[in-house]
C-alpha cells in the first residue's frame, strides 16, 4: 500500500485518477481516503475508525478482511493465477457454479460468470435475445426495464435502466426499449415498513406495453426485486407475482437483477426466496465474493439454457464471455465467501436483525427534513426534503458530517441509503442511527 499522504513532501498527487460517479473537483478539494479495513470498520488516512454503514458499495456482506476469504485469495493467486476462460476450465469454476445452482431455488441451475453487475446485466439481456432466436422466435427483440431502475453502466444496462442522469448524456442508447412505471408514491407509501401495501397494480402497466408493441416483439422484462441505487424502493406487496404472471402469459422472459439483493441482503439467500417469485434469469455480483474480487454470475433456468444446447456439438452455443469469466482468484474468493456466509449463519442473522433494524430506522421519523423512511432486510432508505434548486446538497452534507463523526453512509440525491455488513451488532446499529440522527439534526 502506498505510504504517501495528503500533505508534506511525499504528497499524493490526486490529479490523474478520474474517479467514477464522483464530483472529482469537490472530492479532490477535501478527499476522503481509506487505507485499511477490518470487520465493521474502515481506517481513514488520518487514522480514524469509520463504521461501514454501507458494506462498501452494498458488497462486503460478511464484513471486511475475513480470514477465510483472505487466505483463499492468497492461496489461489499463488497456485493458479489465471486460466483461459474459453475452451479451457479449472475445477473451481465448476465447483462454484454447482454450489450457486444448489443455493438458488427452482430450476435456475446454470451459471454464467462475469466480472461485475453491469456485465451480468448485459449478459442476461443478450442471453434473453439469443434464447428467443435459438427457438426461432427472433422477432422478440424488445427489452422492457423500469423507471428508476439501476442496472449498471453498460449500454444495455443504461438503456433498460431508468435513472435520468445515467442516460441523458449518452445518445439514443439501445433501440426497442420501453419502461414500466416505477413503484414509488410518497402519497400512498410514506413511512411504510417493509413492502408497501399500495402499488401492486403498477405491474399491470406491462399489459399496456404488450398491447402497444404486441407480445411477439418482446424478449424480456428486467427489474430489481427491490430497487436499491435509486434510493431503496421495496416492491409493493404482490407486485412481483403479478409481473411474473403477465410475463408468463405472454412468453416474455423475466429477469431479476439481484446485484444488491443477492447473497443475503434481505434475510434470505436471494430475493427470489424472499418474494417466492421464480424468474427466468437472475443477475448477481457484489456479495458473491464479499466485495474482495470483481465477479458476477448470471443464473439461467434449465429451459433457457437448454434452448442453446442444440445443433452440432462442435459449435459454440453462445458467442459471449469475458477474459476473466470465472477467474481462478475470484472463484476462490467466492467459494470462501459462501463458506463464511454459511458457517456464520449470516443470512439468518439478517432475518433476525431486520425487526430491530426497522425499528431503529423508523425512529428517525420526525427529525428535521425527513420526509420518508423505507426498509427491507438489512437496508434502509431515509429521504430528506431537497433544498430548493439544490437537489442532493443536504444529504451530501449529512454524509460528510457522518464521515467526520466516524460513520460511512451512502447518498443518492437527497436519499440516504444504509446497508451495513451482516456482522453488525445491535449496539452498532444503535450507534449508527445515533450518529446519523445527530448529523441530520446538525444539517440545515
Ligand atoms: C441492481 C444493480 N445492478 C447492476 C449494478 C452494477 O454493478 P457494477 O457496479 O458491479 O457493474 C448495480 C450496482 O450497484 C446494481 O445495484
Q: Tell me the domains of the chain and their CATH numbers.
A: 24-62+345-442 (3.90.1150.10), 70-343 (3.40.640.10)
Strand partners, 297: 113, 284
Question: Given the DSSP bridges, would you call strands 142-146 and 218-223 parallel, antiparallel or unpaired?
Answer: parallel
Cell 423475466 -> residue? 254
DSSP state of 293: S
Classify each residue of 265-303 as buried b or exposed e, where b means 16 or more C-beta atoms within 10 Å of its C-beta. Answer: bbbbbbbbbbbebbbbbbbbbbbbbbbbbbbbbbbbbee
Query: Which of 285, 288, 291, 322 is the pocket-test mutation for ligand 1 (most atoms within 8 Å of CB)?
Result: 285
Q: Please give the pLDDT value at position 10.
A: 77
Residues 6+ apart with CB under 8 A from 326: 85, 89, 90, 92, 93, 96, 97, 113
| ∠ Cα 116 117 122 (to 5°) | 100
Paired residues of 285 in beta bridges: none
Residue-level pLDDT at 7: 75
State how far Cα 192 lies from the chain centre: 22
Q: Which among 118, 103, 53 has a CA at the least distance from the CA of 334?
A: 103
Question: How many helices (DSSP H) and strands (DSSP E) are in the chain?
Answer: 16, 15
CB 239 within 8 Å of CB 421: no
Q: Is 260 in the pocket of ligand 1 (CB under 6 A)?
A: yes
Residue 56 CA to residue 127 CA, distance in Å, equals: 30
Q: Is 152 in the pocket of ligand 1 (CB under 6 A)?
A: yes
| Residue burial 162-172, b: 16+ Cβ < 10 Å; e: rest | bbeebeeeeee
CB of 140 closer than 8 Å to CB of 216: yes
Query: Do strands 177-180 and 142-146 pair parallel, antiparallel, or not at all (unpaired)?
Result: parallel
Which pTM was predicted? 0.98
pLDDT, residue 151, reads 98
> What is the model's pLDDT at position 6?
76
What is the mean pLDDT for each group of 10 consecutive residues in the chain (444 residues)?
68 95 96 98 97 98 98 98 98 98 98 98 98 97 98 98 97 97 98 98 98 98 97 98 98 98 98 98 98 98 98 97 98 98 98 98 98 98 98 97 98 98 98 98 98
Q: Evaluate: CB of 369 within 6 angstroms of ligand 1.
A: no
Ligand 1 atom nearest to CA at 258: 1
Which residue's C-alpha cell is 445515533?
Answer: 434
What pLDDT is stored for residue 2 in this prediction? 58
- β-pair type (410-412, 415-418): antiparallel
CA separation for the pair 385, 390 (Å, rounded): 10
Residue of 123, 152, 153, 223 best suited for mutating to test ligand 1, as the one with most atoms within 8 Å of CB: 152
Of ligand 1's listed atoms, the one at least distance from the Cα of 296 is 10
Distance 117 CA to ligand 1 centre (A): 4
d(CA 41, CA 206): 44
C-beta 121 within 6 A of ligand 1: yes
β-pairing, 415-418 with 379-384? antiparallel
Amino acid at each position: 500500500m502506498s505510504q504517501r499522504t495528503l500533505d508534506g513532501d511525499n504528497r499524493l498527487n490526486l490529479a490523474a485518477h478520474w474517479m467514477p460517479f464522483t464530483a472529482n473537483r469537490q472530492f479532490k478539494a477535501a478527499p476522503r481516503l481509506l487505507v485499511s479495513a477490518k470487520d465493521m470498520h474502515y481506517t481513514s488516512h488520518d487514522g480514524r475508525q469509520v463504521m461501514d454503514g454501507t458494506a462498501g458499495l452494498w458488497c462486503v456482506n460478511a464484513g471486511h478482511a475475513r480470514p477465510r476469504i483472505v487466505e483463499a485469495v492468497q492461496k489461489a493467486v499463488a497456485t493458479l493465477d489465471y486460466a483461459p476462460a474459453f475452451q479451457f476450465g479449472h475445477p473451481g469454476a465448476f465447483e462454484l457454479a454447482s454450489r450457486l445452482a444448489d443455493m438458488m431455488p427452482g430450476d435456475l441451475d446454470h451459471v454464467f460468470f462475469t466480472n461485475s453487475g453491469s456485465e451480468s446485466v448485459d449478459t442476461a439481456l443478450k442471453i434473453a435475445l439469443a434464447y428467443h432466436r435459438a427457438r426461432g422466435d427472433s422477432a422478440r427483440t424488445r427489452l422492457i426495464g423500469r423507471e428508476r431502475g439501476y442496472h449498471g453502466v453498460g449500454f444495455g444496462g443504461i438503456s433498460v435502466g431508468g435513472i435520468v442522469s445515467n442516460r441523458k448524456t449518452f445518445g439514443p442508447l439501445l433501440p426497442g426499449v420501453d419502461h414500466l412505471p416505477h413503484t414509488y408514491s410518497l402519497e400512498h407509501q410514506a413511512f411504510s415498513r417493509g413492502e408497501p401495501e399500495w402499488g401492486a397494480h403498477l405491474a399491470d402497466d406491462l399489459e399496456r406495453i404488450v398491447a402497444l408493441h404486441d407480445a411477439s416483439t418482446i424478449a424480456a422484462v428486467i427489474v430489481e426485486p427491490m430497487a436499491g441505487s435509486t434510493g431503496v424502493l421495496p416492491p409493493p406487496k404482490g407486485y412481483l407475482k403479478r409481473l411474473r404472471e403477465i410475463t408468463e402469459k405472454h412468453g416474455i422472459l423475466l429477469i431479476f437483477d439481484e446485484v444488491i439483493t443477492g447473497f443475503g441482503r434481505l434475510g434470505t439467500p436471494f430475493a427470489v426466496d424472499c418474494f417466492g417469485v421464480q424468474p427466468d434469469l437472475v443477475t448477481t455480483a457484489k456479495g458473491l465474493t464479499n466485495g474482495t474480487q470483481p465477479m458476477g454470475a448470471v443464473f439461467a433456468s434449465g429451459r433457457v439454457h437448454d434452448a442453446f444446447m442444440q445443433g452440432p456439438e462442435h459449435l459454440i452455443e453462445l458467442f459471449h464471455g469475458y477474459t476473466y469469466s470465472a477467474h481462478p482468484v475470484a472463484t476462490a474468493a467466492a467459494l470462501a465467501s459462501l463458506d463464511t456466509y454459511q458457517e456464520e449463519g449470516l443470512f439468518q442473522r439478517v432475518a433476525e436483525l431486520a425487526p430491530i433494524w426497522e425499528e431503529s430506522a423508523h425512529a428517525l421519523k420526525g427529525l428535521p427534513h425527513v420526509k420518508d423512511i423505507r426498509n427491507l432486510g438489512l437496508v434502509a432508505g431515509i429521504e430528506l426534503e431537497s433544498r430548493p434548486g439544490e437537489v442532493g446538497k443536504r444529504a451530501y452534507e449529512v454524509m460528510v458530517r457522518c464521515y467526520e463523526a466516524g460513520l460511512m453512509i451512502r447518498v443518492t440525491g437527497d436519499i440516504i441509503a444504509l446497508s451495513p455488513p451482516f456482522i453488525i451488532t445491535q449496539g452498532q446499529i444503535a450507534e449508527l442511527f445515533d450518529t446519523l440522527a445527530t448529523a441530520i439534526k446538525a444539517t440545515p
